[in-house]
Every structure is written in structure tokens, then in C-alpha cells.
Amino acid sequence: MVAKKMNPEKKVYGTYSNRDFNKPIPEFAFQEEGMAARAAYEMIHEELKLDGTPELNLATFVTTYMEPEAKKLYMENAHKNFIDSFEYPQIKKEETRIVNILSRLFNAPESSNFAGTSTIGSSESIMLALLAHKWNWKSKMQAQKKDISKPNIVFGADTHVVWDKFARYFDVEPRVIPIDSTTMVVNPEKLVKNVDENTIAVGAVLGTTFTGAFNDVKKINSLLEKLKSEKGLDVPIHVDAASAGFITPFIEPDLEWDFRLSHVKSINVSGHKFGLVYPGIGWLLFKDSSDLPDDLVFYVNYLGNDMPTYTLNFSKSAANIAPQYYNIIRLGKSGYRNIADNMMSNARYLADRIAEIPNMEVVSRADHIPVVTFKQKEKGKYSLFDLSAAVRSFGWIVPAYSLPHNAQDTVLMRVVVRESFSRDLADLFLENLKEAMNNLSGSKIKGSGISSRKGHAVS
């Protein structure tokens, strides 16, 4: 979020009348004197009650539940600066264990010298992966004495906004390919058709934000192999598995999307999504350490030892690392599989019930990940934006949004079924959804009227 300048004269008034908080304080300027701890806590605590309830936030992929033992580990390590590996070597060891475990989970060959790092989330992971691919491309072009002034990156309009951010922040031409209006994902042929010798990487998504659908990574890889054979262009694939990386290996182990494919050189996954850890924790994995240029790894010794670092930031809490390792050893493959199966079952139950509602059409029925999207068959008295606002009155947060270019006239609502979303909650949500629809049919309740999606510049 970008915070804006505000009036320093604006005041904050106490929720309760008591001796500790008997006069207003400036809201956007530093006050001269402090207040009692209890008063400060109560003021903030009461204000934050106005936030939505995380368990009823069906918009987010982010974990809202951890077991008590995981929470305990989270708090026990929150005050440790993860970057200080000299002072906190054991937490660094746990990171190394997780990188190895996930690399093997994603079928990195034992013959390769795979590598990786923890990040604050998949956005940082994607930035770092694409930066590495840009560096490798530049080195290759320089070795051939070719122009390096016009790098490009090819990805679909069904990607996360971080792909656009990378292109703009790091001065790379984005070649954004419209989605197919029928499948609602990018067409592999159209994607690879836009590749040339200046392409630093091709992006593929395993579980789009819009519908939860998968790009056909195997097909993209096959087309790139053909391109390499015919024209000598060796272009890597980065797979954004932020949402599916902790689901697909357990419930669709035979699906080829990962390091089994020759052009897949890097993968990101979010620990704070279906990795079942509170935000923010992400993972970036390279098939081989040669895919991560040495020039981008910095070594610093002012924390006590000679420490390699590949991050966009520096300091961060170690709070998320231990719970991630806890989940891995606590659940094992069977535990993650059982949780994924349960989420998928609840999601498909929800999809089937929504399909029974008049004028509602299910678009994605948790085909690969527990995401359900639906739309109106015909325009009625109200829009899905209105319905999104109406269900908010029951506490539910369910987004309505338009799809990217080539399907921008299609408006969907999306429900992400997380571990904490039980069958009982699904029934309650359905009851509230129907009540909201009935209220809208004869009321003046209106939504926010959110405009069509912006952000992607489509080639």
C-alpha cells in the first residue's frame, strides 16, 4: 500500500473514558507524551475490531489458521532477525532443510546442484527468479557480442501483477498475451510465438488468481524444446506455483509441471498459502545453482560471519521459518494430502450447491486447487459487485472482479476454500448468499461499482 500525506491536526479519541486516555491524541503526528500500556492496547485493539474476520475472508489464499504448536514456534522466533545466521544458525539450518525438501518435492534431479532461498512471499520470489534469468540472458548475449538493451519477458494476462511490476521496475519489455476467452488461461502456442532471442524467460502459472486454472506447462515446455531445436533459442520457464505448489504434488503427483520438464529452471511457492503458515513466507527454488548467477549473490561479514544473501530486502523476522518446518515434519506427505483432499471436497460441495442457485453458473469447480468461481447466466436487477457488497453485511468477504483482456466483459465471484472453511461454514455461506440475493432483488442495496481490471498492458 502507498500511504498518502494526511492532516497532522486530526485527532484520535479514546473509545472508553478513563484516566489513562482522557484527551485526544494526534492521528498523523508524533505526540509529545505517551500513555499507559493498557490504554494504548485498548485503543488499537478496539480499532482493529473493525477489520474483517479472517475466517470469513473467502477472498484470500493466505493461511488464517495454524495449530497451537505452530503458533508457539511462531512467537518464540518472532524476535529473531533471520538474516543473522551467525547468531541464529539453527533457523538457517531449517531454511536449508526446507529448500532441499521442496526441491525434491518438485522433482529436482539429484544430479543437479539445486539451490533456493526463503522470501517474504511469492512476489519477492518471482522478482528474484526473473532477475536471475535476466542476468543469465545478459551474460549470454554479451558473450555473443549482441545487443542487451531490449530484453523482454513473455507471460499471460492471467498472471499476478508482480510480473508487470518486475517488467517496469527492472526495465524489461512485458509481452503480455491475452487469455483464451473459453479456457480463461493463456494459449501455449500464442505464448511461445512471442519468444525471440531477447526473451529472458517465459512465465507459467499453476493456479491463476482469477479462476484457479493451470497453464499447460508441459505444452509450453514442449514448444520451447521445438523452438530450441529449430532456432537454437534456449529460453527458461519460471513457474509461479504460489497457490498450487503445496497441493498438486500431493493430489496430482503424476502431473508434469515442475523440474521434470527441461526448460523449467525456477519455481516459486507460497508457504503462507496452502503451505499453512501465517504470512509472509515464500520459497524460491532453482533447478541448479548455475541458474542463479554468482554476481547476484552478495556476501557480507558485518553480522559475524561471511554470509551469502540473495534477497530484495535484508532484515526479516524468523517467525515463519520454524512453523513451515513444523508443518512439513508434523504432517508429512500424507497429512498435506489429507488436508488438500478435504479442502477439495468442501470446495466441490460448495460448487455443486451454487450451481443449483437460479441464474448462477459455476465457472471453476475446484479443478486443481480448492477455488470456486461463478458468474451470472444473465444480467438481472443487480450485479455481482452488488452481491459482493451485500454478503459483506453478513461478515463474508467475497470478491467480484472482471477477467483480463479478451474476457474483460466476464465478471466472476471467487471463493477460496481453505483448511478452516468447513462444510458447516459452507452451508452457512450458501444460506447468507441466497438471503443477500433475495434482499437485492427487492432493495436498493448497491455495491461499490468496481471498474474493470487495470494493470496489464497487453501486447
**pLDDT given for residue 444 in this prediction:** 43
Rounded CA gap, 93 and 307, in Å?
13
Which stretches within 277-320 are classed as H helix? none
Strands 307-309 and 298-300: antiparallel
Instruction: Tell me what pLDDT residue 367 has.
Output: 95
Domain with CATH 3.90.1150.160 in the chain: 343-441
Residue-level pLDDT at 18 = 57
CB 151 within 8 A of CB 137: yes
Close Cβ partners of 204 (under 8 Å, ≥ 6 residues apart): 155, 215, 217, 220, 237, 238, 239, 240, 257
Query: Which residue bears the cell 481490471?
Result: 453
CA distance 92 to 222: 37
Residue for cell digits 526473473? 130
Type of residue numbered 292? L
Q: Where in the chain is the domain with CATH 3.40.640.10?
A: 70-326
CA dihedral 220, 224, 225, 228 (to 10 degrees): 180
| Predicted local confidence at residue 11, as pLDDT | 67
Query: In terms of DSSP bridges, do strands 237-240 and 199-205 run parallel, antiparallel, or are they unpaired?
Result: parallel
Q: Considering the domain 70-326, what is its CATH architecture?
A: 3-Layer(aba) Sandwich (3.40)
> Beta-carbon neighbour count of residue 69 at 10 Å?
11
Q: Which helix (H) or strand (E) holds 248?
A: helix 248-251
- Tell me how far apart the alpha carbons of residues 17 and 13 are, in angstroms, rounded to a whole number: 10
Whether a cis peptide bond, with omega within 30° of 0, leads into 280 is: yes
What pLDDT score does 185 carry? 94
pLDDT for the residue 301: 75
Of the candidates 365, 344, 343, which has an alpha carbon nearest to the alpha carbon of residue 354?
365
Cα Rg of the chain, angstroms: 24
In this structure, what C-alpha cell is assigned to residue 87? 547468531
- Find out whether 209 and 150 touch, Cβ atoms under 8 Å: no
Neighbours of 189 (CB within 10 A): 11
What distance in Å separates the CA atoms of residue 173 and residue 198, rounded to the nearest whole number?
10
Are 160 and 124 in contact by the 8 Å Cβ rule? The answer is no
Are the C-beta atoms of residues 39 and 21 closer than 8 Å to each other? yes
d(CA 263, CA 224): 7
For the chain, first and last CA: distance in Å?
27
Q: Where are the alpha helices (DSSP H) in 405-447?
A: 423-441
Q: What stretches in the chain show pLDDT beneath 50?
A: 17, 444-450, 457-459
- Report which residue type is found at 442: G
**What are the start-end ranges of the H helices in 375-441?**
384-392, 423-441
C-alpha dihedral, 424 to 429 to 432 to 436, nearest 10°: -170
**441 and 382 Cβ atoms separated by less than 8 Å:** yes
Cβ contact 66:293 at 8 Å: no
Q: How far apart are CA 373 and CA 52, in angstroms?
A: 21
CATH classification number, 343-441, choose in 3.50.30.50, 3.90.1150.160, 3.30.9.10, 3.90.226.10: 3.90.1150.160
Measured between alpha carbons, how far is 122 from 28 in angstroms, rounded to an integer? 32
State the pLDDT at residue 1. Answer: 61
> pLDDT digits over 283-311, tens only?
999 999 999 999 999 987 766 677 888 99
Could you tell me which of 233, 175, 238, 168 has the C-alpha nearest to residue 206? 238
Q: What is the pLDDT of residues 5-61, one digit of tens each?
A: 677 767 666 655 456 667 788 989 999 989 889 889 988 999 999 999 999 999 999
The tally of CA atoms less than 13 A away on the side-chain side of residue 65 is 11
Q: What are the beta bridge partners of residue 11?
A: 26
CA 38, distance to chain mean position in Å, is: 36
Burial of 6 per CB tally in 10 Å (0-12, 13-18, 19+): exposed
Alpha-carbon gap, residue 424 to 414, rounded angstroms? 19
List the one residue out of 306, 273, 309 whose CA is nearest residue 294.
Answer: 309
